[in-house]
Amino acid sequence: MGIYVFDFSIPPSTPSVKQNLEVEGEVLSKLYILIPSGHNALAGMRIMYGEQQLLPSVHDTYFKGNDVVYNFEPLLPLPSSPCVLTYEGYNNDPDNSHTFYTVIETRSEEEAKPLDVLRDFVEILKKVMRIR
């Protein structure tokens, strides 16, 4: 139902910062995160809905790294549409601000179902062929 580009910038020496992004759709179908060179894992970000952490999936963890691209297809149901997602992050670098470049794609449940079926089929095929 939509593609949202969001650049999440965090100033130097920032223990916690939040920014909201309103999206429409029933399922978060894709998430891309570009962490440019220079971050050196000194800054981290996560995506929340209210007090609930949506991504990464493990509570109290953050996306961080250096010169890395994360590419996910979580097929994560959104609690409402429109839905306000909160980007939450920190920056332990005393000298530089850091930006996480993100793209989120949302879909209706109806649009996401074929992707879910295809994912299940691929997993079954991997098991049958003994592929990890």
User: How confident is the model over 14-52, as pLDDT tens digits?
Assistant: 999 999 999 999 999 999 999 999 999 999 999 999 999
Split at pLDDT 50, 70, 90, the class of 55 is very high
Q: Can you tell me the mean pLDDT for 6-17?
A: 98
CB 44 within 8 A of CB 88: no
The architecture in CATH of the region 2-129 reads Sandwich (2.60)
Q: What is the pTM of this model?
A: 0.82
Q: Using CA atoms, how far apart are residues 112 and 128, in angstroms rounded to an integer?
A: 25
pLDDT at residue 91 tops 90: yes
